[in-house]
Chain A
Amino acid sequence: MGNLLAKKPKITEVDRAILSLKTQRRKLGQYQQQLEAVIEAEKQAAKDLIRENRKDRALLALKKKKAQEDLLKQVDTWLINVEQQSEINIDDFQKLMDDTEEAKAYQDEINAILGEKLSAEDEEEILAEFEDLETQMAVQDMPEVPTRAESEEQKLNLPDVPTKKPVAADAARDDAEIASEDISTKRRVMEEPLPA
């Protein structure tokens, strides 16, 4: 290339689309790591609370953990989808972006639901998990909390990528602030890792 006026490559719409996708993938990967850290912290918080004999707060920590795990599954699904987009066409890309809008709405929904009472089924599952945790702790084991079976449809529902890091320290502090005799289920049980 002896050309003095070497021209740099032209950028097409497809290039921009790929760039957006790759950005999303990176952010989602980061988010996934953060979620895993929060899940570990919540699990630890639950164990500590059981030791201190605070069943109700331990239950809360487990609820949070469950919510985070579900979110993580969503992120995994999305990541797999993103990675499989090897030959992208504009229509597919547009669909993905539309799905992201849908996911945003879904995320808001989740946040609202978590602030409300969980269904009886959810409560049962959580209590079972909780008892399991107690049993395992009783034999001084490192408990692996059982994951529940996939019952939800695998929609391409995508959580919005957070702009703020979820912080485990907030979780502990929130727990401390909850009065032990009155856990209002209307109160937000999940601090905001995902601003809409």
Chain B
Amino acid sequence: MQKLGDFKLPHFFNYPPYFTLQPVKETREKQIQLWKELILDYCRTQKIFVIKLEEEFPLFSNSVIERTLSHEAREAFLSALVAEGRSEWLDKGRRSCLILWHRIQDWADIIVNFVKDNGFEDSVMTVEEIRSGIESRGTELHGIDRTILMRALKLLEQKGKLAIFKGTSTDDEGIKFSV
């Protein structure tokens, strides 16, 4: 089985027809399903949050079988993820895609658990600390995409679980928890 680093690629990845967007509806649907799962799995294990369609992305080509996904195919697979709520286009031109291998709500739950596990209720943290501080090392939050993090935090703010604030203009953004 072929591997990308530590990641085990599924069998279909080595089968040329899968790199061509299938014309027959039923076949295409199956194809899309497989690719959706592969993209999500890969991004989850590699902690990838954004895919840029026009750039080199390891899943988009297989040099062993000499195949590369066309732009149309890439857009089709990612659009399918968007339709499922597992992805969002970051620009109108559909060149960049945010991958939600955890949904925003999932991330919100992860944050709440993180706060409870570490006893951070009623305390103040900076957004950067959540992303890259010592406390978040080893957790899923470490290295999280900033856009996704802010969305999850805003969701929690609406629910009254925290407040986002700034002191002076040079401060990082702060979070006061009340979970």
Contact = CB atoms under 8 A, between A and B. Distances in A.
A11 B174 CA distance: 10
B85 interface: no
B162 A22 contact: no
A19 B162 contact: no
A8 B157 contact: yes
Contacts of A26: 126, 128-129, 172
Given A18-B174, A19-B165, 12 more contacts: A1-B160, A7-B160, A8-B163, A9-B163, A15-B124, A16-B165, A16-B167, A16-B171, A18-B124, A19-B126, A20-B167, A22-B129
B171 A15 contact: no
Given A9-B177, A26-B172, A15 B128 contact: no
Contacts of B126: 19, 22-23, 26
A11 B163 contact: yes
Contacts of B157: 8
A3 to B, nearest CB: 8
B63 interface: no
Interface residues of B, number: 23
A79 B176 CA distance: 23
Interface in B149-179: 157, 159-163, 165-168, 170-172, 174, 176-178
Contacts of A3: 160
B176 A20 contact: no
A41 interface: no
Contacts of A1: 160
Interface in A17-45: 17-20, 22-23, 26
B125 interface: yes
A11 B171 contact: no
